[in-house]
Amino acid sequence: MLIFVSILILCFIAEAIRKVFPNKLINFLCVTFIIVLASIMPAIRDVSVGTDTNMYVKFFAMDWTYLEWWTIAGVEPGFASCIKLLQLFGVKDYFYYLLLYSVIYNTLIISTIYRLSSGKYLSLIVFLTSSSLYFSHFNILRQSIALAFFVFSLRYLLAGKTLKTYLVLVTAVFFHFSAVILLAVPVIYKNINRRPVLIVCASIAFLILYSNASFVLSFAGDLTGTSKYTAYKKTNSFGGGYFLYTSLIFFISTYILLYTKLRTDKNYRFYCYLIFMSFMTWICMLVFGLKYDGPGRIINYFYIGMLFVIPEWLKVVEKRAVPLIFFIIFAMNFMIFYYVFVISGLHAVFPYVINHSVM
């Protein structure tokens, strides 16, 4: 817990320096420092931290061909390539494998936050605390890398660079096959203003079919390695609480979308759509029995909407009230983090133990 709080404090200091000295070099150094800070916890963790760390550590010792990675472990070629690259240099300690994935993950996401967010530090806080994205990386390594490429693709998507967007999304598929659903994102973004009702209805229909078609669930389960992963024991008991939190984010964001000038903001509408999809995925889990461990993990892709929506809330309050609202949002996110990950133990990150071989 102390190491995480220290990271938050040091990130705040780096952000303050970036604000006080607004030039490109200082900005680059501060953002790089924040990425390094965020990469520390996932990299130096002991094998006992996280529900799936032990499984991945065993993976790092396997010297398989790409075909064997796919047929035996259900591991995509992108993820296997990273393992084989480190093995090529004779790396054996699992610390270096976790470090590589942690740096890739945090670089792609945090650099995009600082490129696209209207409230960069607040987005960073949401990422590190309540969104669950930061701590899910401790377990779902393959999908987390795919998710990071999805976040990175937004800089091209929002700029109208369709080809580059697809190239990044295809790269995501090479790390986790579930990312194939993201190939629909450019079409969704293009039509989110012109045909919002059609997009929403089609998305709901997809989720319902996805939840109820036993063949799809079985097929997706095999591809995502459900049978090879340790079950999340806390998921069912905790799900309702996080569902309520997601619902709160969704309804506040929708209210702002409908009743302010932000209703004309295409990017904001797209972020709200992602939050809506996370809300609907929770509905499918609670009503239709969609399981998080496997097919239901697509919900992680939708959580990224929180990173960019919550900072927009500050735009609808009076300027003098911004510091107070910022503090309230910060406190809310920290309390969610503490309840979810420290008290409830989601992802089994806390109590945190350091890998003493790197000390």
Q: What pLDDT, in 10s, does the model give residues 227-246?
A: 443 333 344 444 556 667 77
Domain ranges, residue 325? 2-358
Given pLDDT bands bounded at 50, 70 and 90, which one contains residue 112?
A: very high
Read off the pLDDT of residues 321-332 as tens digits, 9 standing for 90 and up.
889 989 999 998
Q: Is the pLDDT of residue 133 over 60?
A: yes
CB-based contacts of 215, cutoff 8 Å, min separation 6? none
Q: Is the pLDDT of residue 187 over 60?
A: yes
Secondary structure of 229-250 as H, E, C letters = CCCCCCHHHHHHHHHHHHHHHH
Position 308 scores a pLDDT of 94
Q: Is the pLDDT of residue 56 over 90?
A: yes
Q: Is the pLDDT of residue 141 over 80?
A: yes
Total structural domains within the chain: 1
- Of how many residues is the chain composed? 359
Percentage of the chain exceeding pLDDT 70: 91
Position 169 scores a pLDDT of 97
CB-based contacts of 241, cutoff 8 Å, min separation 6? 339, 340, 344
213 versus 330: the higher-pLDDT residue is 330
Read off the pLDDT of residues 259-286 as tens digits, 9 standing for 90 and up.
777 778 899 999 999 999 999 998 888 8
Q: What is the C-alpha separation between 245 and 241, in angstroms, rounded?
A: 7
What would the mean pLDDT of 135-145 be, rounded to a whole number? Answer: 93
Q: What is the C-alpha separation between 335 and 322, in angstroms, rounded?
A: 20
What would the mean pLDDT of 73-100 be, rounded to a whole number? Answer: 93
Report in angstroms the alpha-carbon separations of 10 from 4, 7, 196.
Answer: 10, 5, 41
Alpha helices, DSSP H only, in the chain? 2-20, 24-43, 53-60, 66-73, 77-88, 94-116, 120-128, 133-136, 141-157, 162-173, 185-191, 196-212, 214-223, 235-259, 266-287, 299-302, 305-309, 322-337
What would the mean pLDDT of 75-99 be, rounded to a whole number? Answer: 93
Chain-wide mean pLDDT for the chain?
A: 87
290 versus 27: the higher-pLDDT residue is 27
Given pLDDT bands bounded at 50, 70 and 90, which one contains residue 216?
A: low
Indicate if the alpha-carbon torsion angle 161, 162, 163, 164 is positive or negative. positive
Least confident of 28-32, 243-247, 267-271, 315-319: 243-247
Position 267 scores a pLDDT of 93
The Cα diameter of the chain in Å comes to: 60
Burial 122-157 (b: 16+ CB within 10 A, else e): bbbbbbbbbbbbbbbbbbbbbbbbbbbbbbbbbbbb
Position 231 scores a pLDDT of 37
Which among 51-65, 131-145, 153-167, 281-295 has the top mean pLDDT?
153-167
Q: Which long-range contacts (CB under 8 A, 24 or more apart) does 70-73 make?
A: 73/225, 73/228
Rg of the chain's alpha carbons, rounded to an integer?
20
Q: Is the pLDDT of residue 129 over 90?
A: yes
CB-based contacts of 252, cutoff 8 Å, min separation 6? 313
Q: Which two three-digit tokens encode residue 181?
A: 């659903």
Position 301 scores a pLDDT of 95
Q: What is the C-alpha separation between 141 and 207, in angstroms, rounded?
A: 24
Position 344 scores a pLDDT of 84
Position 232 scores a pLDDT of 35
Q: What is the C-alpha separation between 158 and 276, in angstroms, rounded?
A: 19
Position 13 scores a pLDDT of 95
